Structure 1
C-alpha cells in the first residue's frame, strides 16, 4: 500500500527560456548538451521532487506555561504551488542544549495549509529552542532542507547570561569557487561572532613576504567584498583586527595555477545580468564552455561560447527569471562543472497585502475590526488563505527584519545556514538591499543537489515515502525468527468513533505497512495472524516514527532580540495570567467537591452491538476458555438451538437447523469464519446469538442467524496493562493532533470571568482565514486592558504559489 511519489507530484513545466543579447563568442546552445542537461534535471526532479515547509508563529518568544500557536504551509519547491503531495506535516520543538525533541505534532494539511499548537508546560525547561517543520518525504534529504526557527522560552527570572563564546569566525569565498593565478576576481567574506550572528570586521591580507596586498571591511551583518588578483606561486593569509588592538590569523583561499573563474554583475542594469568567464589552461587559447542557469531545479537557459584570452562576456535578460535565486554553473569542454555562482532576483512579483484597522486608536477592551485585502501584482483580487497574528507591542518585540513567508520561499529555503534578518532583502526602503543580497549569494550559496547526482545513470530508491495520512509499519516474526514467506494479518482499529477491520500482508521477510489512515488523537490497535496454524508463535514489533536527525550547535546562542522593559512587562503579565488561571482551576475543584449528584445510574450501551437484545448471550469465563480450542468449541452444547459439528479449527455451526452457517460479527464488524475460528479464546469476552427476527438487522446476511463475538480488547473499558496474549499485538497509534481553539473574550456580553485582568500578549490568532472572490476578509476581536501599541502581521500564500506578507498596527489608549 506504499504511495507512489512519482504519481503524486505533478509534472512541473520548464520556466520560459529567456532571450539573450549576443556578445563576443557567445550564443545559445543548440547541441546535444542543451537537451541533455534539461532532460537530466527534469528526470532528477521527478525522481526526487522537493518540498518546502514554513511555520508562521504567533510571536518570537514565549514563557513557561504559555502556548505556542502556529500555522503551517507546505509547497512543492520549484514553483511553490500549495498543493504538494504530502498531507502530513511534522512540527517538532527541539531543546538546543540537548538536541532532544520535547514536543512533536502531526498536522493534517488541506491544500498545503494546516495549523496547531504546543502547550509549553512547566516540565519544559526555559532556554533556547528550535521549532522545525518537515514531511516524511523530506527525510530523504539533508536536514538543511527543513524549516527551522530559533525561539526562546523564558521563566520568571528573565534574560539569562549568555553562554556563547566571544570568539569571531571569519571565512573567505572566491567568486565562482576558485582563485586562479593571474585572473582578477572578487573575494566575499563573512564574520560571525560566538552567538552565530554577523559581526563587524576589518583587516588585511598578507602574502608570504608579509606584504599587504589587500584590505577588507564589512558593510552588512559581517559581510563584505573586495577585488583581488592572486599572483602565481603566492600563498596568502588573512588577519582580522581585534577590538583590543591585536590581530587574529585566518586562512585564505588557496591559489590554483590553472582553472576557470566566473564573475556576475547583477546590479548595474536592472534588466540584465552580465556574466564574465575566464580561464587559464596550459596550451589552450580558446576553451568551449556552456553556462547553465536554473531556478530551483527548473532550466532557465543553456548557452555556449568560447573563452578566449580576453575572456567571455554574456548578457542575460533577467525580466523572465522568477523571483528568488538562480543557480549559474559553468561547464568545461568535457561537460564537467568547473564554476558556480548564485544570483538573487527580486521583481516584487508577490501578493499585495494590506491590513486596515477601521481606526488608528482604540480603547482597552474595545471591539476592533480589521479589513485584510489581497491582490496580485496586477491589482486583481486573490481568493486565498491567510494566517494573522495580533500581539501587544509593550510585551512582544517583533524581531528586526524577521522571517516571513516571502523571504523564506524566495531566499532562506534555498541558502545554507542561518540567514540573519532575511526580511531586510525584500524591504524596498533599504537602498543597499540588492548589493547586500549579492554578498549573501557569494557567502552562503548552496544547492539542493549535486551535479554528480543529476548525471548519474541510475538514481537510488528513496527511503521515505510521501504520506497522505498516518502510517502503520512494523515487523512480524515467528518464534523470534524472521518469516520465510508472506503472511496474512488481521488488523482491528478502534476508538470512540471508529471501529474498522482490515487485512494486511507481510513481505517475505515479515515487514508490513498500512498507509493513509486518517484519524485524530489515537486509535486502539490489535494485530494477529490469519493463518489457521502457528498464530500463537507470531510476535509483532511496530516501527515508531523517528523525528528528523538533529545537528547540535557547538554553542547555544540567544536567538531573540528583546528590550528589557518589554521582557519585564511580558513576564509580569504572564505570571499574573497564570496565577489567575491557577486560582480558577482550584475554585472549580472546590466547587465540584461540594456537589452531590443523586439519580439512577444509566447503563451505557455497548456501541459494538447494532442490536438491542440477543436471543442468547454467553459470558466467557476462564474455565470455559481453558478447555476450548476455538470460539465454536465454547458454543457447543451451551446455547439452545445452536449445533456445532466437529471441533477446533474444523468445526461447523448451524442455528435452528439452517443448512447454511450463520454470519459472524467481531466487535460489530462482519468477518469471515476463518478469522473467528483463529481468535485466541483467552481474548473473548462474550458471545451473542441472534436467531430469526433478531438477526433481521443484518439483512440477507443474517438469514442463517448471527453469531456476534465481543472481545476484551474491543471493549473501551479494557485495561491494556494486562498481560499480552501470545500471537496478538495490542497497542495504540498516534493520529493527527487536533488543534485547540484560540481563546478570545467577548466583552459585549457581561460574564463573571470578565472581571479578572486581561493582559494577554497574543491578542488575536487566526491561522486559516480566507478571502472571498473580492480578495477581502474582515476579522474582529476585543483589545485587552493594556494601553499599548498593537502589532498585526499576516502571511499569505495563493494556490498558484505566490507568497505575500503585511504588517500594520494601531494604538490602544
Structure 2
C-alpha cells in the first residue's frame, strides 16, 4: 500500500508541474477529476456493412493540460452490442499518448447499433466520467427485400381516465418474405414493464394490433419479430407534438428587480433538439418578449423580473406546427445575485448584481477542467460589480464561474466557453493539384505550426472520404476539437458537437453553455483516494501464499515464463506470503499463456506454494443509445448501398477471373459416415472442412493446452480462433455467424468457454459447415427468440471419443494445466492501398472500390513542422474530402480539411 500511495503522490506532483503556474495564487484548488486522463478515438465512419473494417486512432491526454506526457501506456477499446455484451476487446499500446487499431467485421455480426468505448486502468478512479463512447450502425453486406415499413399507422383510438388504446398495422413481409403464422410483439412503456404477446394474421399477411397503455406513458417502444427471427423496432409518442421546453437563467436564478439572460432548450421524445418559437407572457398574459430557437431548439432571451413567484410563462409551438403549448419559467426569487457574462476585446466581462445586499463582499472563482485559474474578492458598490479577466488567464475550453457570498456559499454559477484560436495548431494542407483521374497518385503536403508561424512537432491522422456519401454535415460529427474542448468535460449527449467548431457559420456555443447546465460539469468532486494505478505497459501481479506454516517469511525467487515460441522468462523476489508484480516486454497477439512457479520448483514448492494472479475488473458496459429505430435515413442508405455494390462488384470479379465450382451432389471422400455424423448431415448438411484427430495430434506442441490452443496455433487458414472479452479462446467459421454442436448436441453460449478445455486426445474430429441448413432454427434453439436472428451462418461440429456431448468430453480430460492466460497488446495493421505504378496485372485489372479511400493513423511532422504523403486514388469519381487532425508534443490540437475532385479517365 505504501508503494501505491507513493505513486499517487508522484502523479499529483507531475500534474502540478505540468500546469503553467505564472498566474498561480496561494489558494489554488484542484478537483478529483482533474487528475483523470481524457481519451479520444477518431473513427473512420459511423455506418458500416459486415464486410468492412472499423479503423480508429487513439489520443490520450491529461484532463487539465491536454498534454500527453506522463499518460498511461495501455488503452482498453471494446466493441459492445445493444444487449450490453462486449463482442470484441482490444488492448492498444499507447506511446506518447498515441495508439491505433481496428475491428474486423464479418457476417457473424448482427445488424444494429454498436458502442465503441475506450478507457484506461487509471480512469477507473473516476467512475465512468472519462470513458470515451461513440456509436456506430452495422448493416448486412447483403441487400434485403424490405420495400416498406413493417410497422405503420400507429394511432390512438380511445382513451379512459387511466389508459389509452392504440392500434397499429404490421406488415412482416416487408421484413421477412418467408414469415409464417404468428408474429411476436414486444411493447415497452417508458418507466414501465415490457409485455410480450403473439398475434395471428386476420387475413393474408395482414396483422392488426390493439393494446391499452397507461395514460402517463408518453413514450412507447414497439417491436415485432418474425417466425424466422427477423426484427424491427420503432419508438413513438402518445402525445401530439410532444416537446419539452425548459428555461435556464444565467447564473441559476431569476431575481426580482434584476435583468437576466435566460437560455432555453426544446427537445422531442427522443431527447433531440427541435426548433420552436413563441412569446413570454406575464401574469396578465401581456407579451414581454418573443423568442425563436436555432435548429437544435436552443436560444436565449433577456428578462427583467418584476414580480416574485410563478410570474412568467412561455407560449410556444414547433416551427412546423400551429398547435401552441404553455410552460412556466423558473420561479422569480425575492433575493439573490444575478451573473451576466460577455466577451469584449479579448476580455471576459462578468457583471454581478444584487438588490438585497448592495454593499456585500463577494468572491469569484474561475476554473477550467477542475483547476482554479482565477480567484478574486470584491465588494459590491450600489449592488453592482464588474470583473474584467483577460481570456489568456484560462486555457481554451469550458470555464466554470462560481460566485461566492460573504458566508462562503456558492450563490451563482455559470459555464462559459473560452475560445482561444491562437492556442490551436495551424494546419496548412496543400495538394499537388485539385483535379485528378481515377487511380492517380495524390500527394498531400502538411505543415503544422503555431498561429505565430512557429513549426510544431505533431502527430496527425489522414482520412480521405467520399463527400457524396458523407454529406455536408460530416463536419458536425465528433472531432478532436469538439471532444477534448467540449464533450469530454460535460455529462450528457451533445448533438452535432462538431458544428460548434465549424469555420463557416458555427453554432452559437453559448446557448449550449446556458442550457447544458453547470450540474453536468464533470469536475465536481474534491480530491479523494486513488485505487487504480497507471499502466505503462504489460504487467502481471498477484500474491504468493503457502500451505506450510514453516514457510512464513521465506524468500523465494518467483519465475514467470511465457508459453510461446520465444519462452521469455522473468524472475522477481517475493517474501512469502506476499505480493508480486512483474513488468513484461511488449507482447502482441491479444492473449498469451504464462506459467508461474518458484525458480527452484522443488517438490516441496509444488506441493505448498499457492500462486494467484490478480484479475483486472473490467468496467461493466452501459449501452445508452437514445435513437435505436431501424428506420434508415437517406444518407445512411447511400453508404449501405455503396458498400453492397462494391462487395458485389468484387465478388463478380473473383467469379469471372477464377471461376467457381458448384457440386450438384456432395461426395465426401474418405469420410466415415457414423450414425452421429449421418444425423448431423441430414439435419444441417455436409461439412466443408474436416480436421481429423491425427492432424491435430501431429501439430500439437507441449505448450498447447487444449483443442482451441492447437487450432489457434496451427490451423488459422481453416478456422478463426480468437479470444473473447474475457480471454477465452473461441472458434468461429471465417466470415460467418457461428453455432456449435458436440456429438450432434447443441452447445449453449454459457458453455462456449469450455470448448477450449477439450483435450485433443478426446476429440476425434473437428468439422466446419460453412453454410448450413436450418440455421435459424438451431439459433433459436440455442439462444431463444431475440431481436436479431440470422437466417444463414456456419456450424462447428465436434465429435468426441465418448460420443455423449461436451460435458462427457470434459469429464474425461485430466486437468494437468497450472497455467494462466493474460491479455497482451492487440496487433495493428496497415490500411492497404495499391501502388499502381508498380502493381501486377492482377492489381491493375481488379476493381478498386475501397472505402474509405485512404487512412493513415499516424503521420509525424518533422522539426520544420512538415510532412508529405502520397497515395493512389480508387476507381470512384466525384468530390472527396481529406480530413487531418492531431496533436502536438506540447498538447496543442488541430483539425483541418481539404477537397479534391476525380473524373473518369479520358484516355
- Do they fold alike, i.e. is TM over 0.5? yes
Deviations 1:588-627 (A, max 9, x none): 999x99xxxxxxxx9999999xxxxxxxxxxxxxxxxxxx
Q: Classify the secondary structure of the residue corresponding to 2:826.
A: coil
Q: Classify the secondary structure of the residue corresponding to 1:343.
A: strand
Q: Show the counterpart of 1:444.
A: 516
Worse-superposed segment, 370-379 or 564-573: 564-573
Say if 2:829 is the partner of 1:740: yes
Say if 2:421 is the partner of 1:348: yes
Change (3 A) 1:285 1:345: closer
Worse-superposed segment, 236-245 or 148-157: 236-245
> Displacement of 1:477 after TM fit?
8.0
Q: Select the residue among 786, 791, 796 that pairs with 2:881.
A: 791
Q: Show the counterpart of 1:321.
A: 394
Q: Show the counterpart of 2:540.
A: 472
Q: Show the counterpart of 1:145.
A: 130
Distance 2:19 2:611 in 1: 51
Distance 1:131 1:105 in 2: 11
Deviations 1:158-213 (A, max 9, x none): 89988344643333212112233443212111122344432102244556776665
Q: Show the counterpart of 2:484.
A: 409
Change (3 A) 1:273 1:582: farther
Q: Classify the secondary structure of the residue corresponding to 2:41.
A: strand
Unaligned 5+ segments in structure 2 are 150-231, 664-687, 690-697, 705-809
Q: Show the counterpart of 1:297.
A: 370
Say if 2:304 is the partner of 1:234: no
> Displacement of 1:444 after TM fit?
1.6
Q: Show the counterpart of 1:418.
A: 493
Q: Select the residue among 248, 262, 268 that pairs with 1:173.
A: 248
Q: Classify the secondary structure of the residue corresponding to 1:190.
A: strand
Q: Show the counterpart of 2:90.
A: 105
Worse-superposed segment, 413-422 or 79-88: 413-422
Q: Select the residue among 48, 68, 72 that pairs with 1:62.
A: 48
Change (3 A) 1:122 1:512: farther
Q: Equivalent residues in 2 for 1:301-700 (5 A)? A: 301-349=374-422, 350-397=424-471, 399-430=474-505, 433=507, 436-446=508-518, 453-454=525-526, 459-473=527-541, 490-503=559-572, 505=574, 514=582, 518-521=586-589, 522-528=591-597, 532=604, 535=607, 538=610, 540=612, 542-547=614-619, 549-550=621-622, 552-553=624-625, 555-556=627-628, 562=635, 564-565=637-638, 567-577=640-650
Contact 1:63 1:574 in 2 (8 A): no
Contact 2:358 2:384 in 1 (8 A): no
> Displacement of 1:583 after TM fit?
9.6
Deviations 1:749-783 (A, max 9, x none): 32424322111111211111111222221111111
Deviations 1:97-124 (A, max 9, x none): 3233222211101111111111122222
Distance 2:890 2:321 in 1: 54
Q: Classify the secondary structure of the residue corresponding to 1:173.
A: strand
Say if 2:259 is the partner of 1:259: no
Contact 2:111 2:138 in 1 (8 A): yes
Contact 2:92 2:101 in 1 (8 A): yes
Q: Show the counterpart of 1:7.
A: 10
Change (3 A) 1:507 1:327: farther
Contact 1:15 1:298 in 2 (8 A): no
Q: Select the residue among 88, 97, 120 that pairs with 1:135.
A: 120
Contact 1:528 1:729 in 2 (8 A): no
Q: Select the residue among 73, 78, 92 that pairs with 2:64.
A: 78
Q: Classify the secondary structure of the residue corresponding to 1:562.
A: helix
Distance 1:257 1:586 in 2: 84
Q: Classify the secondary structure of the residue corresponding to 2:819.
A: strand
Q: Show the counterpart of 1:766.
A: 856
Q: Classify the secondary structure of the residue corresponding to 1:443.
A: helix
Distance 2:77 2:295 in 1: 33
Deviations 1:436-475 (A, max 9, x none): 1111111124479788743xxxx43222221111343557
Change (3 A) 1:452 1:562: closer
Distance 1:351 1:104 in 2: 32
Change (3 A) 1:469 1:395: same
Distance 2:852 2:425 in 1: 25
Worse-superposed segment, 803-812 or 56-65: 56-65
Distance 1:369 1:450 in 2: 42
Distance 1:347 1:720 in 2: 67
Deviations 1:138-167 (A, max 9, x none): 122142333222322222448998834464
Change (3 A) 1:565 1:4: same
Unaligned 5+ segments in structure 1 are 19-29, 594-601, 609-718
Q: Classify the secondary structure of the residue corresponding to 1:740.
A: coil
Structure scoring higher RCO (CA < 8 A, sep ≥ 6) equals 1
Say if 2:103 is the partner of 1:118: yes
Distance 1:121 1:339 in 2: 53
Distance 2:455 2:850 in 1: 34
The structure number with the bigger radius of gyration is 1
Change (3 A) 1:574 1:222: farther
Q: Classify the secondary structure of the residue corresponding to 2:476.
A: coil
> Displacement of 1:228 after TM fit?
2.4
Distance 1:60 1:299 in 2: 37
Distance 1:93 1:585 in 2: 35
Q: Classify the secondary structure of the residue corresponding to 1:143.
A: coil
Q: Classify the secondary structure of the residue corresponding to 2:246.
A: strand
Change (3 A) 1:378 1:737: same
Contact 1:144 1:417 in 2 (8 A): no
Distance 1:249 1:721 in 2: 73
The number of aligned residues is: 658
Q: Classify the secondary structure of the residue corresponding to 1:805.
A: strand
Distance 2:313 2:511 in 1: 21
> Displacement of 1:422 after TM fit?
2.7
Distance 2:566 2:609 in 1: 32
> What TM-score do the two structures reach when normalised by structure 1?
0.72
Contact 2:48 2:640 in 1 (8 A): no
Distance 1:721 1:115 in 2: 43
Change (3 A) 1:357 1:578: farther
Worse-superposed segment, 777-786 or 148-157: 148-157
Contact 1:277 1:313 in 2 (8 A): yes
Deviations 1:537-584 (A, max 9, x none): 847465244135425245536898826445433332244346767999
